[in-house]
Amino acid sequence: MVTFQQIQELVNFRSEAFPVVSAYLNTDLRRVSKDQIRITLKAMIKARQEELRDHPLNHRQEASVKEDFKKLEAFVTTELFPEENRGYVVFSCSGEDFWQVYPIPQRVKNALIVDPDIYIRPLLAILNQFHRFAFVVVDQRRVQVFEMYMGKIEEYTHLISPAVPGKVRYAGWYGLEEKRVHRHIEHHVQEHYKRVSNILFQLMNRHQWDYFILGGQSHELPRFEKHLHRYIVDRIVKRVDMEPFSWDVNRIKKEVLDTEQRFMRKRWEKMIGWLITEAKKDHKAALGLKSVLQAANMGNIRLLMIEEDRGLPGYECFECGYLAIRNTVCPICGTPMQRMDDLFDEIIENTVNFNGDYYQVPSGTMLSEYGGIGAFLRFEAPKEA
């Protein structure tokens, strides 16, 4: 799983001495075959090698980049590309012994960049769309903790599991003794909840968890919640009435996925509803490919929303980046335009390059009626002639 620490390490990485190779790979096996993935990478490597001939690197830099390419080729040869990973982003800087892999559950546009700086912006735009969910199962003596992020689950129970206090031994079942024993057990339960709450708060900070799902017996959960930090309580999105510790990891995973999808869907629908209202009032919003394209060509997209699995070939001017649905000579600079496999990918790239955000939304929302694409804009779009 992609950890918060990994992302921190990436954001902070810089090499003074060596270029970094950033690879974005479309590995959606519904659209491309494993052979195609390898062929595409090979072609991109060849193109970069030819360009590098005109910008000679020093000996050590050249060796580092060569090693980066070799590692990438080895990676696509051995990687199994499971279906849930629609794309991969890989960064390599062999001279600094740096190598990071990000499996991505959504579309990624192929790109291979060799540059002193990491080409990180498209990855950050993707990561921006995902939240970290923690699933916490408790009862009076035990606790289980899972984190789920970008479709991958990881268990943290070993970091928090208490040394379970043994059964409370006592003599006699009656009178004062019984009361004392009861208080004793109750004290242990409260201590357990307090301890779990403290560790959860630390884990949340360390791993940057965004939302929480609690699981346990419905009469017991409020007793536990009393001890939770306010910050966590505000981020509980669901309470699951369940027999503690009876679910295997797959069932937990499914529950988090379902909760996450419902939670996000509600959010999308609200945003899309707002977008449609704004667009109808001619405010800073665009709906449908034509209007969004116009906005993209002006660097006017603040937040782009695209329905998953949308795609359409189009054209781009390689001189100035102008995008069009039909093949023309670029109206900005007069250069003949190039055919692109997917205009939607180009609009995403354009948005990210102009520092806008983008969200991939599930199909079947109101956005479907507008060709699956819409955007909030920075300034009001000029009226069409």
- Which residues sit at the interface with Zn ion, rule CB under 5 A? 317, 319-320, 322, 330, 332-333, 335
Shortest Cβ 329–Zn ion spacing (Å): 9
Nearer to Zn ion, 64 or 297 (CB): 297
Nearer to Zn ion, 43 or 320 (CB): 320
> For residue 1, what is the DSSP state?
-
305 within 8 A of 275, measured Cβ to Cβ: yes
Nearer to Zn ion, 222 or 336 (CB): 336
Shortest Cβ 379–Zn ion spacing (Å): 22
For 230-247, give the DSSP string: HHHHTTEEEEEE--TT-S
Residue 379 — φ and ψ, nearest 5°?
A: -135, 160
Rounded Cα distance, 46 and 302, in Å:
35
Nearer to Zn ion, 273 or 336 (CB): 336
Shortest Cβ 298–Zn ion spacing (Å): 14
Shortest Cβ 299–Zn ion spacing (Å): 14
Nearer to Zn ion, 208 or 294 (CB): 294
Say if residue 74 is exposed, middle or buried (CB neighbours under 10 Å; 0-12, 13-18, 19+).
exposed
Nearer to Zn ion, 146 or 322 (CB): 322
Nearer to Zn ion, 74 or 332 (CB): 332
What is the three-class DSSP state of 99? strand
Region at 328 (left for phi over 0; alpha for psi -120 to 50; beta for the rest): beta
65 within 8 A of 91, measured Cβ to Cβ: no
Shortest Cβ 334–Zn ion spacing (Å): 7
Shortest Cβ 317–Zn ion spacing (Å): 3
Buried-exposed string 96-108: b where 16+ CB fall within 10 A, e elsewhere: eebebebbbbbbb
Shortest Cβ 112–Zn ion spacing (Å): 23
306 within 8 A of 299, measured Cβ to Cβ: no
Shortest Cβ 133–Zn ion spacing (Å): 44
Region at 346 (left for phi over 0; alpha for psi -120 to 50; beta for the rest): alpha
Nearer to Zn ion, 339 or 383 (CB): 339
256 within 8 A of 228, measured Cβ to Cβ: no
Shortest Cβ 333–Zn ion spacing (Å): 3
146 within 8 A of 134, measured Cβ to Cβ: yes
What residues contact 345, with CB distance under 8 A and at least 6 apart? 107, 109, 311
Pairing relationship of beta strands 211-216 and 236-241 according to DSSP bridges: parallel
Shortest Cβ 332–Zn ion spacing (Å): 4
Rounded Cα distance, 80 and 265, in Å:
30
Rounded Cα distance, 300 and 297, in Å:
7
Cα-Cα-Cα-Cα dihedral sign, residues 53, 58, 63, 67: negative
Nearer to Zn ion, 334 or 364 (CB): 334
Nearer to Zn ion, 222 or 331 (CB): 331
